[in-house]
């Protein structure tokens, strides 16, 4: 049985919690990813971000996590995306995957992050130091 945890939340995210959630006695590898709010984008200073999610975001996040968990080499998957206001240094996307071997874990975690970024209906509003803002990944 594969453990799958997925959430869209306004609560701050913690990588250690995600790593602990995928712990498995069979696992020789746990790979995690933290998507962290940075202080710049394309050469412009960023002061803060706000993420807004479509009501279907949590369901789609679970579908992505389940797809990664369908790989017979994957033991567990944990992924969360934050919504609401975030500060520089906050974690916006947390992901962890456990498998028997490191190469498989790295590949599975990369697929998980790439699919979340490609499919999740969550949009980012960046606020720049000059007071202007922009929406990113907004249809």
| Tens of pLDDT, residues 4-21 | 999 999 999 999 999 999
Give the dihedral sign, CA 63/68/72/75: negative
| Tens of pLDDT, residues 104-135 | 999 999 999 999 999 999 999 999 999 999 99
| Tens of pLDDT, residues 70-100 | 999 999 999 999 999 999 999 999 999 999 9
Q: Check if the beta carbon of residue 119 is closer than 8 Å to that of residue 80.
A: no
SS3 70: coil
For residue 75, which of 1, 17, 18, 7 has the smallest C-alpha distance? Answer: 1
41 vs 93: CA distance, rounded Å: 17
| Tens of pLDDT, residues 25-72 | 999 999 999 999 999 999 999 999 999 999 999 999 999 999 999 999
pLDDT score at 112: 98
Task: Tell whether the model's pLDDT for residue 139 goes beyond 70.
Answer: no
SS3 28: coil
DSSP letter string over 77-136? EEEEEE-EEEETT-EEEEEEEEESSHHHHHHHHHHHHHHHHHH--EEEEEEETTS-EEEE
Q: Check if the beta carbon of residue 126 is closer than 8 Å to that of residue 138.
A: no
């Amino acid at each position: 049985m594969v453990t799958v945890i997925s959430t869209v939340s306004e609560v701050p995210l913690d990588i250690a919690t995600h790593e602990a959630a995928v712990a498995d006695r069979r696992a020789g590898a746990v790979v995690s990813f933290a998507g962290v709010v940075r202080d710049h984008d394309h050469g412009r200073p960023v002061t803060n971000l706000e993420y807004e999610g479509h009501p279907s975001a949590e369901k789609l996040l679970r579908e992505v996590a389940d797809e990664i968990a369908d790989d017979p080499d994957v033991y567990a998957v944990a992924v969360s995306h934050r919504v609401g206001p975030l500060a520089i240094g906050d974690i916006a996307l947390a992901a962890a995957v456990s498998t028997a071997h490191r190469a498989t874990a790295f590949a599975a975690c990369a697929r998980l992050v790439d699919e979340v970024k490609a499919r999740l209906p969550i949009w980012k509003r960046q606020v720049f130091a000059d007071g202007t803002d922009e929406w990113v990944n907004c249809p």
